[in-house]
Structure 1
Amino acid sequence: MFRKPKRETKVADMDPGLETMMQLERLTRLRARLPLREDVVKAFVDFFQAKFTAGQPVEDNQAKLALQSLRYCLTPPNTEPDGAKQPLLPGPALLQAAMVLRNTPKQTTSDHVELARTLHECLKGASYASDEAGIMTYVGQLCRLGSPGTARDVVLDFEQRQGPIPLSSQTPSSLEDVQEIDTEGSEATKQAHQGIPPYRLRNLWAQVLQAWSVQGEDGEVAQTFEIIRQRGLQNGPLVHRAMLMHSMSKNDLQGIEHWWREYHAAISRASRKKTLSAALVGQVLRWCLANDQLDLGHGIVRDLMLTSPMKPVWDAILVWAAGTGKGVDEIGRMFDVMEQSNEGIEDEEFWRRPDTATMNALVEHAIAKDDPYTAERFIALGRDRGIEPDAKTYVLQMAYRLRVNDIDGALTAYKNLQTMDLSSDEDVPAVNKLIVALSSSKRHDFDTVMNVAADLSDRRARFEPLTVATLSLLHLDRDELHDVIDLLNTHAYHYSSTERTTVRDTVVAYCLDAQTPVSRAWDAYLIIRDVFDELPREPRTELMTNFFARDRPDMAVHVFNHMRAHSRADTMPTPDTYITAFLGTAERQDLESLEVVHNQLKLDFNINLTTRLRDALVIAYTACDSARKALQFWDDIVASREGPSYNSIHVAMRACERSPFGDLKAQDIWGKLRKMNVEMDSTMWASYVAALAGNGDSENAIRVLEEAVVKGEVEVDAFVLGSLFMGSRGMDKQRDVEEWAKGKYPRAWIELEACGMEEAEDGMRAFGIDRSVTP
Structure 2
Amino acid sequence: MRAHLARHARRVLIQHSRSPSCALYSAPTRRRQLIRPIAHGVVSYRTFFDGLFQKAPREVRQPEFEPGWMKIMVWRSRMLDNLRPPPTKELIQCWTIFFNAKLSSRVPLNATQAIQCRRLLDYLLQEISEAPAKTPLKLERKDLNNALTALRTLRPRERTPNHLDLAKSIYSTLNSGALGKQKKGRDTALWAQYIHTICLYGGSKEALEMLHANWDDVIGLAKNGDNLVVPVAQCLAREGCEQELVELLEYAEKNGIPFDKDTQAAIVSFFAQRDQVPETKHWFDKLPASGRRTAEVYPLVATFAVRNNVQEWAVPHFLELGDTKPEKPYWDSLLQAILIMGKGLKQVEAMMSHMADSNGPVKADTSTINGLLRAAVDLKDPMLAEDILSLATEKDLKLDGETYLIQMGLRLEAGYLPGVQAAYKNAKKLEPWHSNPDRWWEYCQLLNQYLSVLCAQKTTDFKLLGEHVSLAEEDQVQLDPQTIATLCIRFLENEQYFDVMDILSVHAFQFSAAEREIVQEAFVKFCLVETSTSRAWSSYQLLRQFFQDLSFEHRVSLMQVFFDRKRPDMASHVFGHMRQHRNSDNHPQLSTYIKFFEGLGQHPDTEALEMVFNMLKMDTTVQPNTRLYTSLIIAHTACDRSLQALDFWSEITSSREGPTYTSLEAIFWALERRPGGSKMAQKVWKRIEKMDVDIPPSVYNAYVGAIAGSAEEQEAQDIILRMGKITGVEPDAMTLGVAYNGFPGQQLQSRFQSWAKMRYPEVWTELEKKGKRMTRDSLCKFKLNRVFKA
Sort the TM-score into its range (normalised by shorter chain).
0.7 to 0.9
Shift of 1:327: 1.3
Q: Does 1:585 align with 2:600?
A: yes
Select which of 67, 73, 94 maps to 1:43.
94
Q: Is the 8 A contact 1:152 1:208 kept in 2?
A: no
Q: Which amino acid aligns with 1:497?
A: A
Residues 155/613 of structure 1: CA separation in 2 closer, same or farther (3 Å cut): farther
Which position in structure 2 is the counterpart of 1:266?
289
Q: Is the 8 A contact 1:143 1:151 kept in 2?
A: no
Cα distance in 1, alignment partners of residues 450 and 320 from structure 2: 42
Q: Is the 8 A contact 1:76 1:86 kept in 2?
A: no
Secondary structure of residue in 2 paired with 1:671: helix
Pairwise mapping of residues 320-719 of structure 1 onto structure 2 (< 5 A)? 320-338=337-355, 341-342=356-357, 344-345=358-359, 352-424=362-434, 425=440, 426-441=442-457, 445-473=461-489, 475-476=491-492, 480-516=496-532, 518=534, 520-568=535-583, 570-707=585-722, 709=724, 715-719=730-734
Cα distance in 2, alignment partners of residues 67 and 533 from structure 1: 23
Q: Which amino acid aligns with 1:715?
A: E
Residues 2/16 of structure 1: CA separation in 2 closer, same or farther (3 Å cut): same
Cα distance in 1, alignment partners of residues 718 and 697 from structure 2: 16
Shift of 1:745: 3.1
Shift of 1:319: 1.3
Q: Which moved more, 1:465-474 or 1:102-111?
A: 465-474
Which position in structure 1 is the counterpart of 2:137?
87
Which position in structure 1 is the counterpart of 2:30?
none
Residues 118/266 of structure 1: CA separation in 2 closer, same or farther (3 Å cut): same
Cα distance in 2, alignment partners of residues 204 and 405 from structure 1: 38
Cα distance in 2, alignment partners of residues 639 and 227 from structure 1: 77
Residues 307/567 of structure 1: CA separation in 2 closer, same or farther (3 Å cut): farther
- The TM-score, its normalising length taken from structure 2, stands at 0.83
Q: Which amino acid aligns with 1:31?
A: N
Cα distance in 2, alignment partners of residues 593 and 316 from structure 1: 70
Cα distance in 1, alignment partners of residues 444 and 343 from structure 2: 32
Cα distance in 2, alignment partners of residues 135 and 635 from structure 1: 74
Cα distance in 2, alignment partners of residues 419 and 52 from structure 1: 25
Select which of 213, 237, 244 maps to 1:210.
237
Cα distance in 2, alignment partners of residues 505 and 129 from structure 1: 48
Cα distance in 1, alignment partners of residues 533 and 727 from structure 2: 55
Cα distance in 2, alignment partners of residues 111 and 712 from structure 1: 61
Residues 408-443 of structure 1, C-alpha deviations (whole Å, 9 max, x = no match): 232233344454345544544334433443444456
Q: Which amino acid aligns with 2:290?
A: I
Q: Which moved more, 1:495-504 or 1:731-740?
A: 495-504
Q: Is the 8 A contact 2:675 2:709 kept in 1?
A: no
Q: Which moved more, 1:228-237 or 1:290-299?
A: 228-237
Q: Which moved more, 1:663-672 or 1:713-722?
A: 713-722
Q: Which amino acid aligns with 1:240?
A: Q
Q: Is the 8 A contact 2:144 2:170 kept in 1?
A: yes
Residues 606-659 of structure 1, C-alpha deviations (whole Å, 9 max, x = no match): 333343333222221111111221232233333444443322222222222223
Cα distance in 2, alignment partners of residues 307 and 36 from structure 1: 66
Which position in structure 1 is the counterpart of 2:275?
251
Residues 611/85 of structure 1: CA separation in 2 closer, same or farther (3 Å cut): farther
Secondary structure of residue in 2 paired with 1:266: coil
Residues 86/68 of structure 1: CA separation in 2 closer, same or farther (3 Å cut): farther
Q: Is the 8 A contact 2:705 2:739 kept in 1?
A: yes
Q: Which amino acid aligns with 1:206?
A: A
Q: Which runs of 5+ in 1 are unaligned?
A: 181-198
Q: Which moved more, 1:649-658 or 1:85-94?
A: 85-94
Cα distance in 1, alignment partners of residues 764 and 778 from structure 2: 20
Cα distance in 1, alignment partners of residues 474 and 297 from structure 2: 37
Shift of 1:233: 4.0
Shift of 1:332: 0.8
Shift of 1:77: 8.3
Residues 224/572 of structure 1: CA separation in 2 closer, same or farther (3 Å cut): farther
Q: Does 1:116 align with 2:167?
A: yes
Residues 444/697 of structure 1: CA separation in 2 closer, same or farther (3 Å cut): closer
Pairwise mapping of residues 268-347 of structure 1 onto structure 2 (< 5 A)? 268=291, 276-338=293-355, 341-342=356-357, 344-345=358-359
Residues 21/729 of structure 1: CA separation in 2 closer, same or farther (3 Å cut): same
Secondary structure of residue in 2 paired with 1:251: coil
Q: Is the 8 A contact 1:60 1:111 kept in 2?
A: yes
Q: Which moved more, 1:229-238 or 1:390-399?
A: 229-238
Q: Is the 8 A contact 2:261 2:288 kept in 1?
A: no
Q: Is the 8 A contact 2:672 2:705 kept in 1?
A: yes
Q: Is the 8 A contact 1:465 1:500 kept in 2?
A: yes
Shift of 1:151: 5.0
Cα distance in 2, alignment partners of residues 112 and 516 from structure 1: 42
Residues 231-273 of structure 1, C-alpha deviations (whole Å, 9 max, x = no match): 44463445434433343244333322221233x33232xxxx6
Cα distance in 2, alignment partners of residues 321 and 304 from structure 1: 12
Shift of 1:67: 2.0
Aligned identity (percent) is 29
Cα distance in 1, alignment partners of residues 83 and 629 from structure 2: 34
Q: Which moved more, 1:304-313 or 1:710-719?
A: 710-719
Residues 429/137 of structure 1: CA separation in 2 closer, same or farther (3 Å cut): same
Which position in structure 1 is the counterpart of 2:754?
739
Q: Does 1:23 align with 2:74?
A: yes
Shift of 1:355: 1.9
Q: Which amino acid aligns with 2:122?
A: R
Residues 238/643 of structure 1: CA separation in 2 closer, same or farther (3 Å cut): farther
Cα distance in 1, alignment partners of residues 751 and 730 from structure 2: 21
Which position in structure 2 is the counterpart of 1:189?
none
Cα distance in 1, alignment partners of residues 555 and 623 from structure 2: 21
Q: Is the 8 A contact 1:617 1:633 kept in 2?
A: yes
Which position in structure 2 is the counterpart of 1:183?
none
Residues 522/684 of structure 1: CA separation in 2 closer, same or farther (3 Å cut): closer
Secondary structure of residue in 2 paired with 1:766: strand
Pairwise mapping of residues 749-768 of structure 1 onto structure 2 (< 5 A)? 749-760=764-775, 762-768=777-783
Residues 204-227 of structure 1, C-alpha deviations (whole Å, 9 max, x = no match): 65356435xx33x55555555565
Shift of 1:307: 4.0
Q: Which runs of 5+ in 2 are unaligned?
A: 1-51, 178-182, 435-439
Residues 13/632 of structure 1: CA separation in 2 closer, same or farther (3 Å cut): same
Shift of 1:531: 1.9
Shift of 1:30: 2.3
Shift of 1:476: 4.5
Residues 540-575 of structure 1, C-alpha deviations (whole Å, 9 max, x = no match): 233333334444433332222222222335533333
Q: Which moved more, 1:296-305 or 1:699-708?
A: 699-708
Number of matched pairs? 726
Residues 445/221 of structure 1: CA separation in 2 closer, same or farther (3 Å cut): closer
Which position in structure 2 is the counterpart of 1:190?
none
Residues 403/575 of structure 1: CA separation in 2 closer, same or farther (3 Å cut): farther
Cα distance in 2, alignment partners of residues 138 and 603 from structure 1: 55
Q: Which moved more, 1:444-453 or 1:111-120?
A: 444-453
Secondary structure of residue in 2 paired with 1:609: coil
Q: Which amino acid aligns with 1:504?
A: Q
Secondary structure of residue in 1 paired with 2:781: strand
Secondary structure of residue in 2 paired with 1:206: helix
Residues 671/279 of structure 1: CA separation in 2 closer, same or farther (3 Å cut): farther
Which position in structure 2 is the counterpart of 1:188?
none
Q: Is the 8 A contact 2:273 2:304 kept in 1?
A: no
Q: Is the 8 A contact 1:692 1:700 kept in 2?
A: yes
